[in-house]
A and B are shown apart, each in its own frame.
Chain A
Amino acid sequence: AQRVTQPEKLLSVFKGAPVELKCNYSYSGSPELFWYVQYSRQRLQLLLRHISRESIKGFTADLNKGETSFHLKKPFAQEEDSAMYYCALTPGGSEKLVFGKGMKLTVNP
């Protein structure tokens, strides 16, 4: 069965510090990996996906198939990055999205 693990529930950093939100997955095939974000009082939205290979709001994520990881990184966190972050995967050929349990990032001034 597919599984997405976000090992940390909470992360609190100061503005300007680097952040890394960890995500590991278990799936034997070729998944599609995503990071979704939910800002306070806003709906859940896509942040980035591995096939796009782009940086969004300064965030990047690299799919490491050997380590089955898709960690989200940003070199200098901003207060507006405070949000809930969810890692998710779509198993190959499936319409479904499997979410991790989420991680709350707080960036302090």
Chain B
Amino acid sequence: NAGVTQTPKFQVLKTGQSMTLQCAQDMNHNSMYWYRQDPGMGLRLIYYSASEGTTDKGEVPNGYNVSRLNKREFSLRLESAAPSQTSVYFCASSEWGTGGGSAKNIQYFGAGTRLSVL
């Protein structure tokens, strides 16, 4: 199993350009997430999807849109990139649920996308 796969690994954009970050997981997880990681700020949740067909805002959603294309794929789109969006972006997935179970609620992360907006 590949786990969580993100593309691209690196990207440089000019201010105002748009792009979509792709994420796919092969673990049949119901929940998927997008985070950004900035120095001194930790990981901050941008958007998440608890199940296919649903998406919800996280802590820092402004300037981003997401699409849960199917159970496997969850994409993040920057419509008009800004320098403040320069960051490392991580996708994650989990089998979320209550009632215990050692495999539940553990998030599995992709390798990240390093994005620079000039």
Residues of A within 8 A of B (CB): 9, 32, 34, 36, 43-46, 49, 51-52, 86, 90, 93, 95-102
Contacts and interface: CB of A to CB of B under 8 A. Distances in A.
A46 B40 contact: no
A86 B40 contact: no
Contact of A95 (B48, B102, B110, B112): B48
20 contacts: A32-B105, A43-B90, A43-B109, A43-B111, A43-B112, A44-B92, A44-B109, A45-B108, A46-B107, A49-B105, A51-B100, A90-B105, A93-B98, A95-B48, A95-B96, A96-B48, A97-B33, A97-B107, A101-B42, A102-B42
Contacts of B31: 95
Interface size class of B (residues with CB under 8 A): 20 to 34
Contacts of A52: 102
B28 to A, nearest CB: 16
A52 B106 CA distance: 12
Interface of B: 31, 33, 35, 40-45, 48, 50, 58, 90, 92, 94, 96, 98, 100, 102, 105-112
A-B pairs with lowest CB-CB distance, top 9? A101-B42, A44-B109, A99-B43, A95-B96, A99-B42, A43-B109, A102-B42, A95-B50, A95-B31
B50 A101 contact: no
Contact of A86 (B43, B58, B96): B43
A51 B103 CA distance: 11
